[in-house]
Each structure stands twice: as C-alpha cells, then as structure tokens.
Amino acid sequence: MIPVDDLISELGLIRNALGEETVEPSRRPRRRGPRESPAPERVRGDPIFDSGQWDVTDPDLWEEEKQRGRRAVEGDGSAGQSGISRAGIEALAWYVSFHDDRRAWGVYIPLSSLALMDELYLSNLRIGRDRRLNLAWSALLIHEQMHFAVDYACAWFELVLRAPIRREFMARFKGQLPFGGLTPSEAYLEIEEAAANAHMLRQLARKESRQVMRTIEGFIERQPPGYKEGLRATSDASFAEATAETLRSYFALWAIEHRLDFGNPKTDWLRLLPLDDESASSECPVYVINDLDEIGMAAGSLRLIQCISEIVETADFEKQFRRQDAKVRSDWDRKKEEIKIRLPSPPRFEKLKDSKPPTWSLRLRAGHRAHLRPPDPGTTAWRAVAIGNHKEMGHG
C-alpha cells in the first residue's frame, strides 16, 4: 500500500484536489458554547477499556446528553434544532479526509460517544461494561474505516485522472449547486453510509456472538436513511453493489469527462478499497478525545489503556518476585518493556472479574502471572502487586 503521505504529496500537484477545512477536526459538531475542545490523543493498535471508576458526577447533564445523543444518532427532526449537524454513526465518531486536512486527518472517537453508545444501545447485553465499550469502539472504528477506504480509492483515481474527484463531489453536499433548479435530496451519501454499516456488520460478525450481532443490528435499525440500509447490504453481492454504487457516485462526472465505462457491472469495485489490508488500516490515524466531563461524567470514568509506561513494584511484589525462577524474572523484565509500547490482547492482559480494587492480570511464561493495579486518581504509575504461578495467583 502506498503511504497516504505520499498520496497527499502527489495530490498536491493536482489543482483543487486538496483543501484546508476551517472546522476544527477534533471538535464534535454538537457541543455547547465556544469552549476549547480537548486535545485528541493518537491511538495505535487495539486499546483496552477500563470503566472501574465509572462515575456520573452530573446526573442531569448525563440524562440530557443521552437524550441529545439518541436524537442525533437516530436523526430525528429535533436534532437539527439542538445544533447537532451530524446524524447516524457520524454523531458519535467521524472521519476527517486527508483531502480536507493534511495535518489532522483520520478517525476521531470521543470517549463520551463510547459511554453514550453503551448506555443507549448496548446495555442489554449480558457482558461486562469494559467489553461493551470495546465493542462500541470496534463498531465505530470499522464504520469510519470504510470512509477512509473510499477516500483512499478516490485518491487513487485522482492520481490516474489528474482530477479533484472528492472535493468536487463534497462541494455538492456543501450547498455549492451547479444549477439553481437542483435540490439536494440527501444530506450525505446514503449508499456510502449503508456500505459503511454493512462493513461494520460483516467485520463484527466474524468474531461476535449472535446475541451481540442482534444488538448491533438493533442499533443500526434505528439510524437514519442510508445508515439503516446497511442491514440489507451484508451479503457479498449486496455489499459489492453498495460499494460499487458509492464509487460510481463519486466518479460519475469524471467517468463521462474521461470517457470511462464505470457502469460496467462486471467490474469488481471492492478490490479498489483497502478494507482487508491491515497495513492499510494502520495507515489511517485514529484519535480518541477525552471529553467525558462534557456529558456529566468524571474524567477518569472510562479509561482507554494503550500501554503502561510507568510501573511501581510494591514491597509484596518484590518479595514474591525474588522467589520466582530466573526465567520468570527475566520474562517479567522483558514484558515490562513491551507493555511500555503496546499491551497484549485479552486474555494475555485482562481485568480480573469482580476484583476490588480493580486488578489486571498479565500473563508470563509457564503459566505465571503478574497482577497490576491502575494508577490511583492523581497519579500516573501502575502498581505491580503480585507475581506467581497460575494457582498461587488464585486463577485455578
């Protein structure tokens, strides 16, 4: 896959292919007042969620935001009046195109969206909240990755045709009408939203249970036109058709301009989208925005854990550590360095069920574990509190 930075450099040579949006990309479009938006933080890899200190500090605001969130996601008429300019999934997370912002393009997911999506649409699932938050994250991210894939495919054609395909297309949605007589009948490309939700369903179905999938389908069913049609675009054929129609929508004028046969039904448009390419997905920056205070929650209510850069070993831990085999001690020393960069996926690093205080287990060699506790409020270091084999640590 060609790095997006290289694409951007090439697109810069095509007149009108790149622009500079004035909208702050990390600002959710619905927030109150001119307050400064929180700085987004880049997320790499699969994050782990911890809601051990879930704390609603302003119940009235929390209720108000839930109602507002529901109206935005489901796109009811009152949403516009409350200043919410995006509907469906885009009310929770959004993709900023590299065509519009070379510096801050990528997927943006506020923590508040995870809390709201969990509360509004996932809370009936019989799985723990951390797991539900992870599900919310995956659902939003996969949907937005489809928009990145379409953006990437557009760029590819722009380079071939030397044409500003995406920005011409988006200009139509921004009210720049070529003729006075034309009236927009959709506020966003509905078929693209259907394809993005179908992509989300197809990806989640690979690893989630039937019960989880029914819940996600219920979430999609309540979304506005386009989004909810994702439910009918999950088969291979219908997904391919939704994708093809999305790309035809972007390319139509340029197909005519360049005498290209884009209507050919035998063309496999899906191949143009980097959807199953992990290196491509990792090319798209993902940012999280810690805005929990804006929905009436304490700032540490929901933590996204990407790495553990600071660990303090307690006296008990050190005592147990000295009793361990040399290979286990060396493995701990190595793991401590690894988790400074990236955490292993569950179950290699997972929260112990019903543990008070919240405790996480990190798997070491030969059935050994280290138990870690997250930083206390106002501190930054995790604490290593115990180390031992599976049985000693109470896992057996």
Which residues contact another protein (rule: CB under 8 A)?
15-16, 162-164, 167-169, 171-173, 176, 178-179, 181-189, 191, 245, 248-249, 251-253, 255-259, 261-265
**How near is the Cβ of 341 to another protein at its closest, in Å?**
43
Q: Which is nearer to another protein, 246 or 301 (CB)?
A: 246
Cross-strand pairs, 109: 288
194, 226 contact by CB (below 8 A): yes
How far is residue 331's CA from residue 334's CA, in Å, rounded to a whole number? Answer: 5
Q: Which is nearer to another protein, 22 or 264 (CB)?
A: 264
**How near is the Cβ of 157 to another protein at its closest, in Å?**
14
Q: How many CB atoms lie within 10 A of CB 344?
A: 16
What does DSSP assign to residue 157? Answer: H
Locate the DSSP E strands across the chain: 40-43, 48-50, 94-96, 106-110, 286-289, 303-305, 311-313, 349-351, 360-363, 368-373, 382-389
Q: Which is nearer to another protein, 249 or 355 (CB)?
A: 249
**How near is the Cβ of 222 to another protein at its closest, in Å?**
22
Q: Which is nearer to another protein, 59 or 179 (CB)?
A: 179
How far is residue 59's CA from residue 265's CA, in Å, rounded to a whole number? Answer: 54
Residue burial 3-13, b: 16+ Cβ < 10 Å; e: rest: ebeebbeebee
Cross-strand pairs, 286: 43, 107
Q: Which is nearer to another protein, 173 or 366 (CB)?
A: 173
How far is residue 210's CA from residue 320's CA, in Å, rounded to a whole number? Answer: 43
Q: Which is nearer to another protein, 146 or 284 (CB)?
A: 146
**How near is the Cβ of 348 to another protein at its closest, in Å?**
46
